[in-house]
Chain A
């Protein structure tokens, strides 16, 4: 093999040698460079823009770096956008409303998802595999279309109203679509698999002998659950809850399609501030505040994942 390496010509040998010598830096360097350029730098631009002033121009903001002073750029920091977010009630109440919706949806997802994950783990053989595939399948189908499916169900002439009218429970359609209830249902529906999968991954590794030992020692199923199973599945509960809570807080599609502008959520507000009002500095300030709000849950998620990977 060594002989064939040498016969491939000097330019090729030079490159292979360089790759050999720098293999480690190449493996780290390529993705590192890409992420700094397209992930980290864009954030600093958002941060910078959130301190800029909004003007009617294209692009609609003042430059933060003023080059007119000769060699050194002077930095003009303008905190008006943040003050505006605090002063205007719309933004505070939208933030609080997003957090409330995300919290409630996370809890309901946990209540539905936990017994489901537990049930899948307790199923044996091929059926367990099929049940798991049915949880994974929604990940591969369009988020947008799964939200759209609920538009047909919740509409005034939709499936739920048809069913209730036919059963005689109501005599005229009840308004469901473009109401908060629709947003709650939509978020729970689309994020439920995100809750179940980490729970399943955690429960699958559990040793059932502890539970059996508790039962053998005379603990009833309920106390066994609360003293043995629940504490052992805590990492799964935390990971699943954060995977629902974090993206649900910044959700845009569900409040836009199912809430129809009647339900205030921060992701949608950011989008409309940017697209409809063309106030880019305020949109950037919203993004920065949203990120600050979510950074603690994000770090917590990261920590739980790292602990799971090491165990």
Chain B
């Protein structure tokens, strides 16, 4: 195997990674800018951080976003796992083609269409039944469950495709009922995939602006909606501070998760060698 990489490849990678990361680094640097006139540099300061943390709107929006993300990720993980099981383990069933289509469509569907259709659905439902009277946290949560479960289903399906069914078949042969096999073997085997799915669903929900803007009502402003309403009119140093907090915490989380996974892989490789 040739080890050295052509110079062309190396320069492409340097350019690519710089393109991906220089904007984020600049965003972080400017959050410590004293000057309110971004991006003119006016000396080091943390005043935008204190201003940010003093703002009750930011706290309210963050709390609402976290609540929605927690509930929708949890429900989406359950539904998405069931959907992934249905696709990978149950063979053929009636309506499988429609089911597969509905599961994979939200992954590529433009968000404006999803948002518009769900809003019109909630309005029609309200006209017919008088419910939901007010749109807000509840409707946003339903919308987020619907598109996040597709991502979970894809993760679960690919995990199941990569594992063999020998354990499940052995349990069946030994007389375990299907439910027992599911709860004692399949679900524990899927736990890492479900965890990954939950985390992805959680971040997708925290990140969503468009669908939430459509299905939200007066008084329910999520964090992305708040950020959007502020930056539409130009650069805002306190949003740089907020961005820094969010990006750094996500980066630390991803790297810790990555480090743990790498260590597990190495341990498994060691065990396999012994």
Which residue numbers of A lie inside 8 Å of B, CB to CB? 16, 19-20, 23-24, 26-28, 30-32, 34-36, 38-43, 45-46, 49, 59, 112-113, 115-116, 118-120, 122-124, 126, 129, 131, 133-146, 148-153, 155, 157-159, 162, 189, 192-193, 208, 212, 221, 242-243, 246-247, 249-253, 256-257, 267, 270-271, 274, 280, 283-284, 287, 290-291, 294, 297-298, 301-302, 305, 309
Known A-B contacts A119-B13, A140-B250, A152-B26; A35 and B99 likewise in contact (beta carbons under 8 Å): yes
Cα(A190)–Cα(B221), bound, Å: 24
Chain A residues near B149 (CB-CB < 8 A): 31, 34-35
Those of B9-46 within 8 Å (CB) of chain A: 9-10, 12-13, 15-17, 19-21, 23-24, 26-27, 30, 37-40
Q: Check if A145 sits within 8 Å of B246, measured CB to CB.
A: yes
Q: Check if B203 sits within 8 Å of A140, measured CB to CB.
A: yes
Q: Check if A45 sits within 8 Å of B161, measured CB to CB.
A: no
- B259 CB to nearest chain A CB (Å): 9
B6, B10, B116, B210: the one contacting A46 at CB < 8 Å is B116
Cα(A116)–Cα(B27), bound, Å: 24
Q: Is B5 an interface residue (CB 8 A)?
A: yes
Q: Check if B117 sits within 8 Å of A141, measured CB to CB.
A: no
Cα(A86)–Cα(B209), bound, Å: 30
Q: Check if B21 sits within 8 Å of A134, measured CB to CB.
A: yes
Q: Check if B79 sits within 8 Å of A119, measured CB to CB.
A: no
Those of B166-184 within 8 Å (CB) of chain A: 177-179, 182
Contacts A157-B37, A189-B19 supplied; 6 other A-B pairs, CB < 8 Å? A49-B120, A152-B27, A157-B39, A247-B108, A250-B111, A252-B112
Q: Check if B12 sits within 8 Å of A119, measured CB to CB.
A: yes
A145, A271, A302: the one contacting B101 at CB < 8 Å is A302
Cα(A194)–Cα(B143), bound, Å: 23
Q: Please, how many residues of chain B have a CB less than 8 angstroms from a CB on the other chain?
A: 93
Cα(A157)–Cα(B207), bound, Å: 28
- B209 CB to nearest chain A CB (Å): 6
Q: Is B121 an interface residue (CB 8 A)?
A: yes
A23, A271, A298: the one contacting B108 at CB < 8 Å is A298
A-B contact pairs, 26 of them (CB 8 A): A20-B178, A26-B82, A28-B90, A28-B99, A31-B103, A34-B79, A39-B105, A45-B124, A46-B120, A49-B120, A115-B13, A116-B13, A118-B9, A138-B20, A140-B253, A144-B207, A144-B209, A144-B231, A145-B246, A149-B243, A152-B38, A155-B38, A247-B111, A267-B111, A274-B116, A291-B113
Closest to B246 in A: A142
Chain B residues near A267 (CB-CB < 8 A): 110-112
B40, B112, B145, B240: the one contacting A271 at CB < 8 Å is B112
Chain A residues near B80 (CB-CB < 8 A): 31
A26, A142, A157, A159: the one contacting B224 at CB < 8 Å is A142
- B32 CB to nearest chain A CB (Å): 13
Chain B residues near A28 (CB-CB < 8 A): 82, 86, 90, 93, 99
Q: Is B254 an interface residue (CB 8 A)?
A: yes
Q: Check if B146 sits within 8 Å of A59, measured CB to CB.
A: no
A40, A189, A208, A309: the one contacting B158 at CB < 8 Å is A309
Q: Check if A246 sits within 8 Å of B262, measured CB to CB.
A: no
Cα(A291)–Cα(B106), bound, Å: 12
B9, B95, B210: the one contacting A32 at CB < 8 Å is B95
B79, B103, B182, B239: the one contacting A148 at CB < 8 Å is B239
Closest to B89 in A: A27
Q: Is B71 an interface residue (CB 8 A)?
A: no
Q: Check if B247 sits within 8 Å of A242, measured CB to CB.
A: no
Q: Check if A153 sits within 8 Å of B26, measured CB to CB.
A: yes
Closest to A145 in B: B243
Chain A residues near B103 (CB-CB < 8 A): 31, 35
Known A-B contacts A35-B103, A49-B120, A291-B113; A133 and B254 likewise in contact (beta carbons under 8 Å): yes
Q: Is B191 an interface residue (CB 8 A)?
A: no
Q: Check if B120 sits within 8 Å of A246, measured CB to CB.
A: no
Q: Check if B207 sits within 8 Å of A142, measured CB to CB.
A: yes
Q: Check if A38 sits within 8 Å of B146, measured CB to CB.
A: yes
Chain A residues near B113 (CB-CB < 8 A): 46, 250, 270, 287, 290-291
Those of B134-193 within 8 Å (CB) of chain A: 142-143, 145-146, 149, 153, 157-158, 161, 177-179, 182
- B112 CB to nearest chain A CB (Å): 5
Cα(A177)–Cα(B263), bound, Å: 44
Q: Check if A41 sits within 8 Å of B246, measured CB to CB.
A: no
Q: 6 nearest interchain CB pairs? A: A250-B110, A42-B117, A115-B12, A42-B121, A31-B83, A149-B23
Cα(A247)–Cα(B16), bound, Å: 21
Cα(A23)–Cα(B86), bound, Å: 11
Q: Check if A31 sits within 8 Å of B116, measured CB to CB.
A: no
Q: Is B85 an interface residue (CB 8 A)?
A: yes
- B41 CB to nearest chain A CB (Å): 9
Closest to A33 in B: B79
Most chain A C-beta atoms within 10 Å of own C-beta, residue among B13, B182, B255: B13
Q: Check if A119 sits within 8 Å of B207, measured CB to CB.
A: no
Q: Is B217 an interface residue (CB 8 A)?
A: no
Closest to A302 in B: B104
